[in-house]
Chains A and B, each alone.
Chain A
Amino acid sequence: MDNSRRKFLKLAGVSAIAGIAAPAAFNSLLKGEAFASGGGSGHGEDKAPTGKRYGFVVDVQKFAADKDLAQRCINACHTTHNVPDFGKDNKKDEIKWIWTETFGHAFPDHSQYKKNTQLVDLPIMTFCNHCDNPPCVRACPTKATFKNADGMVLMDFHRCIGCRFCMAACPYGARSFNWRNPAVKNEDGSYKYIRRPNLDFPTRMRGVVEKCNMCAERLAEGKQPACVDACRPTDGIIFGDLNDPNSEVSKVLREKFTIQRKPALGTKPSIFYII
């Protein structure tokens, strides 16, 4: 008698715990609460997330008109963020936050058959799409890469373990890994691979992943991202809040036909291109 009662109590206790805890855990998974680092859940639906969502419109024609514009953008970004340069011949260790691609590589799933010949050499500015539904954030095992409240996909370099799962996950090739120490110094104390260091921004250490941070540090000071500023006076890259109907990006997006990179993957990129 005693024995069976004890068994019953044990069983009842275990099922009570399972009955209460399991649905709660399951619900929180369904609602995405446990996915503290994750983005929206949508696959293809166009519902706008609430709050801010920063995004870019890249006007490719502006870059076609001014051949140096792309390089100015790249230089502005890379000097602002102390991105090392290991030389043109070293593709293996290359680190880039913003760079140019030809149309075929930036949009590999768009047919170029019998297309406008102007497209062939057109430089397309490519950088992190700050996806609304970022696969890199889903993949990261430590929340070292995460989406913040303003829709920026950011890196916490202090936390990155260098597993490079995010690099495999990113469908846009936007992520670079520090295969070697980027902050190596010459004998005179200057940086070997960072030509003009920005003393207000850190460098990185080897073994962590990095990418475009949407100039979070400049936005905090009320400035525009460095690439956007570098395009002045043209509107080569327009930046703003996609959720604010009065922002410049929103106006441009309403008026012009734009495309995103690989929209079929459901990542919901925040960069729009006027071709």
Chain B
Amino acid sequence: MYDKGKIITGLIVFVGLITFPIWYGFGSAGHLPNPEKPKNAKECVEAVDYMRTSHMQLLNEWRDDIVRSGGTRAGITHDGTEYIRSLQKGCMKCHTNKAKFCDECHTYTAVKPYCWDCHIQPKEAN
């Protein structure tokens, strides 16, 4: 093999560079998300686990049902609490602080939902 030294050095540098993000943060989980829970309510519209994994699907279903199929805007939880199936008029009435609730996990997982391009977030109380 010609230029053995150069090739192997190059390979090591290359592998080192592309794995940089792995070993740079190795051993530490970074800043863990800690979304602030609403003070005025104990339960969400669905179980916490479901909300954690599937709130985006739920929002999509609400939208398609209400906007396209003329579905009801009023929702009711299994224990009888009424709520409005709406991001702006429903979710954000309890989760009043976008930065301390939504952004916590979204920033951690590096997702940028475009909800807030149009939907108006509540005025942050501070």
Direct contact of A and B (CB under 8 A): yes
Interface residues of A (CB under 8 A from B): 146, 148-150, 154, 156-158, 183, 197, 199-205, 216, 220
Query: How far apart are the CA atoms of A66 and B90 in the complex, in Å?
Result: 39
Report A-chain residues with C-beta under 8 Å of the C-beta of B123.
Answer: 199
Closest partner residue, chain B, to A208 (CB atom): B118
Known: A158-B63, A205-B114. A199 touches B68 (CB 8 A): no
Report B-chain residues with C-beta under 8 Å of the C-beta of A183.
Answer: 117-118
Query: Which of A149, A200, A205 meets B89, CB within 8 Å?
Result: A200
Interface of chain B residues 41 through 73 with chain A (CB within 8 A):
63, 66-70, 73
Query: How far apart are the CA atoms of A204 and B114 in the complex, in Å?
Result: 11
> For chains A and B in complex, what number of residue pairs have CB atoms within 8 angstroms?
39
Instruction: Contact check, B68 vs A202: say whether CB atoms are below 8 A apart.
Output: no
Report B-chain residues with C-beta under 8 Å of the C-beta of A204.
Answer: 118
Query: How far apart are the CA atoms of A150 and B114 in the complex, in Å?
Result: 29
Query: How far apart are the CA atoms of A202 and B73 in the complex, in Å?
Result: 16
Closest partner residue, chain A, to B120 (CB atom): A199
Interface residues of B (CB under 8 A from A): 63, 66-70, 73, 88-89, 114, 117-120, 122-123
Query: Which of B66, B70, B118, B122 meets A203, CB within 8 Å?
Result: B118
Known: A158-B63, A205-B118. A200 touches B70 (CB 8 A): no
Report B-chain residues with C-beta under 8 Å of the C-beta of A197.
Answer: 120
Report B-chain residues with C-beta under 8 Å of the C-beta of A149.
Answer: 69-70
Query: How far apart are the CA atoms of A149 and B69 in the complex, in Å?
Result: 8
Known: A183-B118, A197-B120. A148 touches B70 (CB 8 A): yes
Query: How far apart are the CA atoms of A156 and B69 in the complex, in Å?
Result: 12
Query: Which of A157, A202, A205 meets B88, CB within 8 Å?
Result: A202
Report A-chain residues with C-beta under 8 Å of the C-beta of B68.
Answer: 146, 148, 154, 156
Instruction: Contact check, A202 vs B70: say whether CB atoms are below 8 A apart.
Output: no
Q: Which of B63, B114, B120 has the most CB atoms of chain A within a 10 A radius of its CB? A: B120
Nearest CB in chain A: distance from B12 CB, A: 46
Report A-chain residues with C-beta under 8 Å of the C-beta of B88.
Answer: 199-202
Instruction: Contact check, A150 vs B118: say whether CB atoms are below 8 A apart.
Output: no
Instruction: Contact check, A202 vs B118: say whether CB atoms are below 8 A apart.
Output: yes
Instruction: Contact check, B120 vs A156: say whether CB atoms are below 8 A apart.
Output: no
Query: How far apart are the CA atoms of A203 and B88 in the complex, in Å?
Result: 11
Report B-chain residues with C-beta under 8 Å of the C-beta of A201.
Answer: 88, 120
Instruction: Contact check, B73 vs A220: say whether CB atoms are below 8 A apart.
Output: yes
Query: How far apart are the CA atoms of A149 and B65 in the complex, in Å?
Result: 12
- Kindly list 9 other residue pairs between chains A and B, CB separation below 8 angstroms, not including A200-B89, A201-B120, A203-B118: A156-B67, A156-B68, A158-B63, A183-B117, A183-B118, A202-B118, A202-B119, A205-B114, A205-B117
Report A-chain residues with C-beta under 8 Å of the C-beta of B119.
Answer: 202-203
Query: How far apart are the CA atoms of A202 and B67 in the complex, in Å?
Result: 13
21 A-B pairs within 8 Å (CB atoms) are namely: A146-B68, A148-B68, A148-B69, A148-B70, A149-B69, A156-B67, A157-B118, A183-B117, A183-B118, A197-B120, A199-B88, A199-B122, A200-B89, A201-B88, A201-B120, A202-B120, A203-B120, A204-B118, A205-B114, A205-B117, A216-B67
